């Protein structure tokens, strides 16, 4: 629940002070501060807390504030009381009657329902006699609450009053029921606590209101008043009687009397109470008035008047009830759309009131508060179709009224609310200080010209009549208040109130200056000595008063006050401690005063005996609050200084502070810390002397966190950690340590030990290899557990690799030994950084590291060895976890070069003819072996190679032949010779540089018949250093000479061109082709071939260049037809036949394998691949190709499961054929690997069984 806001408070949280008109500027006493919280039930029901101590709850509906209702007879103005709270006038107990003429029957002795607050069962009889521990009583209450009785459901108030003339601060008041029940926590719907302060009478009034009392509210109550060391209390009894059932008369006026003050249920009908009425009340003689009907038919601006007329106080509740009543809206015959219920406009703004007429011809009139409105610049009437609009310009407060529009006999009304902008204070009033008979002019500037403002003096409006001493004038936005002849009565607080703020200033009018001939003198008097004060002032006939510490001094047997003309004297026979203080002489009528300080001196003393601590040492646990109170004495009150070392402890300290109250001084440490340990010195000083004492304070605390632990050694799943003890043990010995660890990426720490570890080292285990970890330490002493140390540097449990495998000697020379090896079988999460190669002389044990930096290769050459010596070699694998166990050669190695016969390893692609085109680069690498370094020579066709044409580069293990731009002259056989002493090895490499071929030498037309032409040609003279692979024949019609290709890749040197067009004359040309492509030129027939029609004489074709030979046709007699030869087409159909069968194949697991075969058939056959007699269909692990009769099956990354009998089957209409082969896959898989590849379980089981049988047979 939000804390209620405070009324009459200044921004700094202090109560605002206001001065009454007759107070002469004296400041009032501060108001009482009492915090009251509502019960949880009230908060749950959405109710508001009760007003107490100038605090008010936030209203539930800010737009419609409810009037505050209280059980008081009158309510003084805020200026008189200085508070907005009502001020009760009656004394004693006040009781309110029900707002209706009925009383409700009590609910019996049963406990109230859960949502109703209960005052409890009172104080038990046996508790009444028990003594209550209270401070010594004194008379504070000038009026006490009295015992009373009431009926169930009634309201009652108890009043207590305290006089504040002699009080410097506001007293504290508490209300109790029984012995201990504090009613401040029970405020809510049925209980309210209020307090007010009358600044004129200086009286605090405290009230307790009980609303709608129940039977269990009866009992003994107590009111306690406390002020410093004074205390007063008063007990009273409350008797709650069951209400008598009487006649009832329920009407709307009684239902809407307010039942509670500012509560949420105000204005709601209490139907549960209405149902309890049993006996009807006799009807009154007055006629029954139906207020509902009156309100329904009235205008909204008449609601308040009707409510006042019929005694309805809860107008808001009544309006809420009316909103819930469904309205019967009658359809208007004149208006299609009426005015809205209400409109709002800012002052100076513009508003449009619009109605929509059902009949545009109806005459329309507008009214304001019943007066007809005529068109003017302020009121403008507009017509838009059926709409009638009234525009009000420059709205002022006079326009805030009820408006209506009449169309024939019908009317509709609305209300216009003009919102006035607040007038703000631009320049405030300046304070004035003057003397009597001077002129005073107060000036204030506001934000708007012609604004209505009000001048106030001490909260009361300043009279400005003709006979008034005050004159008010204004100039634009400036307002003035003028007092021509000032008097002392004009002193006070003047304020100007505007709608948007208030400005105030103090005006002070003094008398003529006072002359002081002799002032009071400060004196120091020993205890028991006489005290005499003397002063002289002018005017001499001015009386005065003597004050000590602000209290008026009255003469008695011990004190004498003398006034003779200008002389004023105060004499005390024997001074006492109470006589010390500030003495003031105040001349009557003057604000000036004469003052002096009187000191009664007494040497100071510190009483440490009351502490009862051995050696004056106080021990406390850090974090607790320490309050050390030490009695002291001395007069005047000694000045107390607490010191720790050279540092002075101040009273204003936040955490550590020293305080002194009269006869004792205290040291308070709110939250003790270890730095607070040490000796504290108390120094007392006054005029009579000085005293010192010391107290030792020891603060024990949890130890400091240790420093971050170190992790010097890390294993595969463990580590070794060490740490140093904390620098500060908290004043108590360290008992042990707790260790926690976590993964670096995680935020969850896990404790590793539940029993304290005494040592400063530990070995955590069961960690995951490769995962970074952090560890931290907690130190423990008798006080508790320290904060955790900083986490250690992240470390990763890593295991060293296994030793390298297969370490062998690769090469030996007179000064070097080359070894090679395989990587370790187990590497682990740390990976592998490299290797270290070490060697030692046989018989010695001094291993020498050969490579200063890690080598990532698995081959290394040890250099700088002594010829003829024997050495041992070992290799270690290195990773982040360290070095692996070494792998050592089983036998020593003799450092002596061994002759190895040369051997040329010709690459597979160079064992055949190496072919390249003209212009391409040739780069051949031919590796060889031999020790010592062989001698390499190259010959071409038995002759040395010209270095300008061919570049040759030799190394220890290979020879490179390079031709930047090949030519046909580079073709030939190259002989490579490798020689080591008397050992020689040779190899021949055939290099062929090819180029485009030349055209065929001669192309002739051998014969022409029908639509066919027979061509014959001879191969080209230059085949481009590569076999001719075919020819391309083209034809062209003599008319267009556009060439068209007849056939490509033709292998023979003769051809018959068919399907020629009869009547056309053709030329033919031919290109030769090799592996480089077609020849650049073509050979064309010299003559053309004419395709003639049947029956045309050859003589008709004499003009053609070519005539058919006699064997092609005969010349018939004139007029006979030419006979043509008949040819039968050859039938090329045949059944499938495999020209190349499948071959049994071995495959390596994980590497692609292919099966190839070739088939011949016409028409083209359908090819089916099968494995173990089962057709292979849509299996992504297989790919099938068929090109020019060559059938290929590719098996992607086969496994042993893919082994078996494979069949290729070709089928067409004439028959079918098939070939088989067996595929064996080497390199098996484990059961887990087969599962990952998705192999079915029954096939895995079959494969595993077959694999076992094969292993057993081996």
The three state secondary structure string of 67-121 is CCCCCCCCCCCHHHHCCCCCCCCCCCCEEECCCCCCCCCCCCCCCCCCCCCCCCC
DSSP-based three-state secondary structure for 894: strand
Q: SS3 string of 779-802? A: EEECCCECCCCCCCCCECCCCCCC
Integer Rg of the chain from CA: 62
Report the relative pairing of strands 230-241 and 148-151 from DSSP bridges: parallel
DSSP letter (8 states) at residue 939:
E
CB 1159 within 8 A of CB 1139: yes
- Of 731, 724, 723, 677, the closest CA to residue 701 belongs to 731
Region of 318 (left: φ > 0; alpha: ψ -120 to 50; beta: rest) is alpha
In the structure encoding, which two tokens stand for residue 761, read together? 């080292």
Which token pair is 476? 């634009």
CA atoms within 13 A on the CB side of 783: 22
Q: Residue 335's CB: how many other CB atoms inside 10 A?
A: 23
Q: Where are the beta strands (DSSP E) in 1077-1181?
A: 1077-1078, 1083-1084, 1089-1090, 1134-1140, 1145-1148, 1153-1162, 1166-1171, 1174-1175
Residues 53, 7: contact at Cβ < 8 Å?
Answer: no
Contact partners, residue 105, CB within 8 Å, separation at least 6: 152, 153, 242, 243, 245, 276
Q: How far apart are CA 1135 and CA 1214, in angstroms?
A: 5
Tell me the β-bridge partners of 419. Answer: 346
Q: Are 745 and 736 in contact (CB under 8 A)?
A: no
The answer to whether 737 and 756 are in contact (CB under 8 A) is yes
DSSP assigned state of 1209: E
> Which residue(s) pair with 1186 in the sheet?
1191
How confident is the model at residue 1184, as a pLDDT?
92
Tokens of 447: 């934000």
Q: For residues 618 and 632, what is the distance between their CA atoms, to the nearest angstrom?
A: 19
Which stretches of the chain drop beneath a pLDDT of 50?
A: 1-137, 245-250, 257-287, 1097-1123
Q: How far apart are CA 377 and CA 371, in angstroms?
A: 18
Return the structure tokens found at 1077: 């492509």
Q: Order of strands across the sheet with 559-564?
A: 515-518, 531-538, 567-572, 559-564
Using alpha carbons only, what angle is made at residue 223 by residues 219 and 227, rounded to the nearest 5 degrees?
Answer: 165
> What was the pLDDT predicted at 982?
87
DSSP 8-state secondary structure symbol assigned to residue 360? T
Q: What angle do CA 617, 632, 628 make, to 5 degrees?
A: 35
898's CB contacts (< 8 A; 6+ apart) are 812, 931
CA 983, 989, 991: angle at the middle one, nearest 5? 160
Q: What's the confidence (pLDDT) of residue 1236?
A: 66
- pLDDT confidence of residue 135: 44
The whole-number pLDDT of residue 469 equals 84
Please give the backbone phi and psi of residue 273, each rounded to the nearest 5 degrees, phi first. Answer: -70, -35
- CA 375-380-384 angle, to 5 degrees, is 120
Task: Note the Cα 937 to chain centre separation in Å.
Answer: 78
CA dihedral 461, 466, 471, 475 (to 10 degrees): 110
> What is the residue whose two structure tokens read 């299609």?
336
Q: What's the residue count for the chain?
A: 1258
What pairing do the DSSP bridges indicate for beta strands 834-841 and 817-822? unpaired
Task: Supply the pLDDT for residue 288.
Answer: 57
| Nearby residues of 511 by Cβ (< 8 Å), 6 or more positions away | 435, 436, 488, 589, 590
- At residue 328, the pLDDT reads 58
Q: Measuring CA to CA, how many Å separate 1074 from each of 1025, 1029, 1051?
A: 9, 5, 11
Q: Which of 311, 208, 220, 316 is nearest to 266 (CA)?
A: 316
Instruction: Provide the pLDDT for residue 899.
Output: 81
Rounded Cα distance between 695 and 701, Å, is 19
Query: Strands (DSSP E) along 539-688, which ranges?
Result: 544-548, 551-552, 559-564, 567-572, 581-587, 594-606, 617-621, 626-635, 639-644, 647-649, 656-661, 664-669, 678-686
Alpha-helix residue ranges (DSSP H) falling in 475-546: none
- Of 950, 973, 972, nearest to 963 (Cα)? 950
Q: Of 895, 826, 823, which Cα lies nearest the Cα of 859? A: 823
Distance CA 288, CA 733 (A): 92
> Which 3 state secondary structure label does DSSP give 40?
helix
Give the residue carrying structure tokens 């200033």: 505
């Amino acid at each position: 629940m939000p804390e209620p806001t405070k009324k009459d408070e200044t921004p700094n949280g202090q109560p605002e002070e206001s001065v009454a008109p007759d107070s002469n500027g004296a400041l009032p006493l501060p108001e009482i501060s009492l915090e009251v919280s509502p019960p949880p039930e009230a908060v749950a029901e959405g109710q508001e807390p009760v007003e107490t101590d100038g605090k008010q709850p936030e209203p539930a509906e800010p737009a419609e504030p409810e009037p505050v209702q209280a059980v008081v007879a009158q309510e003084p103005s805020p200026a008189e009381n200085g508070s907005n709270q009502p001020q009760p006038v009656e004394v004693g107990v006040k009781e309110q009657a029900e707002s209706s003429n009925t009383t409700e029957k009590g609910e019996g002795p049963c406990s109230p329902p859960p949502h109703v607050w209960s005052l409890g069962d009172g104080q038990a009889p046996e508790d009444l006699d028990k003594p209550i521990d209270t401070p010594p009583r004194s008379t504070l209450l000038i009026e006490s609450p009295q015992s009373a009785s009431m009926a169930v459901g009634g309201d009652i108030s108890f009043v207590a009053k305290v006089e504040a003339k002699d009080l410097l601060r506001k007293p504290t008041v508490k209300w109790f029921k029984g012995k201990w029940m504090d009613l401040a926590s029970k405020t809510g719907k049925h209980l309210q606590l209020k307090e007010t302060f009358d600044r004129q009478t200086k009286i605090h009034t405290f009230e307790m209101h009980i609303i709608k009392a129940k039977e269990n509210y009866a009992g003994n109550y107590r009111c306690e008043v406390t002020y410093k060391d004074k205390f007063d209390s008063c007990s009273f009894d409350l008797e709650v009687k069951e209400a008598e059932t009487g006649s009832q008369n329920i009407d709307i006026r009684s239902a809407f009397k307010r039942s509670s003050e500012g509560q949420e249920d105000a204005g709601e009908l209490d139907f549960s109470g209405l149902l309890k009425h049993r006996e009807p009340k006799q009807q009154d003689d007055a006629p029954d008035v139906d207020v509902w009907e009156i309100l329904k038919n009235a205008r909204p601006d008449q609601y308040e008047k009707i409510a006042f007329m019929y005694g309805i106080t809860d107008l808001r509740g009544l309006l809420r009830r009316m909103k819930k009543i469904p309205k019967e809206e009658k359809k208007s015959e004149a208006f299609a759309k009426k005015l809205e219920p209400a409109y709002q406009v800012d002052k100076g703004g513009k508003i449009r009131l619009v109605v929509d007429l059902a009949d545009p011809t109806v005459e329309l009139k507008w009214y304001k508060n019943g007066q007809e409105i005529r068109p003017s610049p302020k009121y403008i009437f507009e017509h838009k179709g059926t709409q009638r609009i009234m525009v009000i310009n420059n709205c002022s407060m006079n326009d805030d009224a009820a408006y209506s529009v009449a169309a024939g006999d019908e009317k509709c009304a609305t209300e216009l609310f003009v919102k006035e902008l607040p007038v703000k204070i631009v320049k405030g009033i300046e304070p004035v200080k003057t003397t009597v008979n001077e002129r005073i002019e107060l000036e204030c500037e506001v934000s708007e010209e012609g604004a209505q403002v009000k001048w106030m003096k001490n909260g009361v409006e300043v009279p400005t009549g003709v006979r008034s001493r005050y004159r008010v004038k204004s100039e634009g936005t400036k307002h003035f208040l003028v007092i021509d002849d000032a008097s002392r009565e004009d002193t006070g607080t003047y304020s100007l109130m505007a709608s948007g703020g208030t400005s105030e200033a103090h005006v002070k009018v003094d008398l003529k200056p006072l002359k002081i001939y002799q002032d009071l003198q400060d004196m120091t008097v020993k205890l028991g000595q006489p005290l005499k004060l003397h002063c002289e002032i002018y005017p001499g006939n001015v009386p005065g008063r003597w004050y000590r510490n602000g209290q008026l001094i009255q003469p008695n047997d011990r004190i004498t006050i003398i006034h003779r003309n200008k002389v004023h004297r105060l004499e005390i026979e024997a001074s006492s401690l109470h006589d010390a203080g500030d003495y003031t002489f105040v001349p009557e009528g003057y604000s000036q005063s004469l003052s002096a300080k009187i000191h009664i001196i007494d040497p100071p003393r510190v009483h440490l005996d009351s502490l009862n601590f051995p050696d004056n040492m106080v021990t406390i646990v850090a974090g607790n609050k320490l309050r050390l109170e030490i009695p002291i004495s001395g007069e005047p009150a000694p000045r107390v200084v607490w010191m720790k070392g050279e540092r002075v402890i101040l009273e204003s300290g936040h955490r550590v502070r020293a305080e002194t109250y009269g006869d004792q001084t205290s040291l308070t440490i709110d939250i003790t810390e270890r730095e607070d340990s040490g000796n504290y010195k108390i120094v007392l000083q006054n005029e009579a002397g000085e005293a010192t004492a010391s107290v030792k304070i020891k603060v024990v605390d949890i130890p400091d966190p240790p420093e971050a632990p170190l992790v010097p050694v890390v294993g595969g799943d463990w580590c070794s950690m060490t740490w140093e003890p904390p620098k500060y043990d908290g004043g108590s010995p360290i008992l042990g340590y707790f260790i926690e660890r976590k993964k670096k990426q995680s935020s969850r720490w896990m404790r590793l030990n539940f029993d304290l570890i005494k040592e400063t080292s530990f070995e955590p285990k069961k960690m995951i290899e490769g995962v970074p970890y952090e560890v931290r330490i907690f130190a423990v002493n008798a006080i508790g557990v320290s904060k955790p140390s900083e986490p250690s540097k992240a470390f990763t449990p890593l295991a060293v690799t296994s030793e390298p495998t297969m370490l062998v000697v690769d090469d030996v020379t007179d000064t070097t030994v080359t070894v090679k090896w395989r990587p370790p079988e187990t590497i682990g999460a740390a990976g592998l950084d490299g290797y270290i190669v070490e060697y030692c002389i046989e018989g010695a044990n001094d291993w020498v590291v050969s490579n200063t930096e890690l080598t990532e290769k698995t081959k290394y050459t040890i250099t700088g060895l002594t010829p003829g010596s024997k050495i041992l070699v070992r290799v270690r694998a290195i990773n982040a976890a360290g070095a692996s166990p070494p792998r050592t050669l089983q036998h020593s190695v003799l450092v002596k070069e061994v002759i190895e016969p040369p051997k040329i390893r010709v690459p597979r692609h160079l064992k055949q003819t190496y072919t390249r085109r003209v212009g391409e680069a040739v780069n051949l690498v031919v590796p060889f072996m031999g020790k010592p370094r062989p001698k390499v020579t190259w010959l071409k066709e038995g002759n040395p190679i010209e270095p300008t044409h061919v570049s040759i580069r030799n190394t220890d293990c290979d020879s490179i032949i390079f031709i930047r731009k090949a030519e046909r002259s580079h073709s030939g056989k190259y002989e490579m010779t490798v020689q080591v002493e008397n050992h020689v090895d040779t190899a021949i490499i055939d290099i062929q540089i090819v180029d485009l071929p030349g055209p065929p030498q001669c192309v002739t037309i051998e014969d022409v018949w029908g639509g066919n032409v027979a061509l014959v040609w001879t191969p080209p003279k230059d085949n481009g250093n590569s076999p001719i692979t075919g020819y391309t024949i083209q034809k062209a019609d003599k008319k267009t000479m556009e060439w068209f290709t007849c056939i490509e890749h033709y292998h023979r040197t003769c051809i018959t061109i068919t399907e020629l067009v009869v009547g056309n004359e053709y030329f033919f040309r031919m290109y030769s082709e090799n592996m480089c492509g077609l020849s650049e030129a073509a050979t064309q027939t010299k003559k053309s071939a004419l395709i003639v029609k049947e029956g045309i004489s050859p003589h008709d074709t004499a003009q053609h260049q070519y005539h058919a030979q006699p064997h092609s046709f005969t010349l018939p007699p004139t007029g006979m037809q030419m006979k043509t030869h008949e040819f039968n087409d050859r039938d090329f159909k045949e059944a499938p036949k495999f020209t190349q069968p499948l071959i049994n194949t071995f495959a390596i697991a994980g590497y692609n394998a292919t099966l190839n075969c070739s088939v011949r058939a016409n028409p083209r056959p359908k090819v089916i691949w099968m494995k173990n007699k089962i057709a292979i269909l849509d299996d992504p692990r297989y790919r099938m190709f068929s090109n020019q009769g060559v059938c290929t099956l590719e098996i992607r990354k086969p496994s042993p499961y893919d082994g078996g009998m494979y069949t290729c089957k070709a089928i067409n209409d004439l028959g079918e054929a098939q070939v088989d082969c067996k595929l064996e896959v080497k390199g098996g898989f484990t059961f887990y690997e087969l599962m990952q590849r998705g192999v079915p379980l029954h096939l895995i089981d079959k494969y595993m069984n077959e694999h076992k049988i094969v292993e057993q047979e081996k």
